[in-house]
Amino acid sequence: MFITRRFLIFFIAAMFSTSGNADHRAQRSAAAHDHARQALERGEVRPLAEILARVADAVPGEVIHVEFERQHQRDHPVWMYEIKVLAADGRLREVEVDAATGRILSVEDD
């Protein structure tokens, strides 16, 4: 649960650190949360705790940012997690995960 709590703190901080009107940021944050919750309830995505556990096994380090977004691949939309991990050696790694399957699609230095 420690990783999940830390993620929530970073996620909330990231949402409020972007430029623009505070009301707009709050609305965007609430909308993103609603999209994620609804996708989970419909069974379209895996729970975030499961995704973070898979990423921790594959890419050790501290999760510092998570984005949940819908991308279009091969003419159909898919939910994706983009997770930034600060590795012990100081490298910032970007991990793309298929939110429906939990499969790690790519790991790159950011």
* Chain segment 32-88, per-residue pLDDT in tens: 778 788 888 999 899 999 999 999 999 999 999 999 888 877 777 889 999 999 999
**pLDDT grade, residue 14 (50/70/90)?**
low
The answer, yes or no, to whether residue 1 has pLDDT greater than 50, is no
Q: What is the mean pLDDT of residues 1-15?
A: 53
Q: How far is CA 72 from CA 80, 97, 103, 104, 108, in A?
A: 10, 14, 17, 17, 20
* 62, amino acid identity: E
The CATH architecture assigned to 2-109 reads: Roll (3.10)
Query: Which range is least confidently modeled, 65-69, 95-99, 103-107?
Result: 65-69
Domain boundaries in the chain?
2-109
Predicted pLDDT of residue 70: 85
CA-wise closest residue to 86 among 55, 106, 60: 60
Predicted pLDDT of residue 11: 54
The answer, yes or no, to whether residue 10 has pLDDT greater than 70, is no
Does the pTM surpass 0.85? The reply is: no
Measured CA to CA, the distance from residue 27 to residue 4 in angstroms comes to 22
Going by their DSSP bridges, the two strands 76-86 and 62-73 should be labelled as antiparallel
Measured CA to CA, the distance from residue 110 to residue 64 in angstroms comes to 13
Measured CA to CA, the distance from residue 86 to residue 102 in angstroms comes to 20
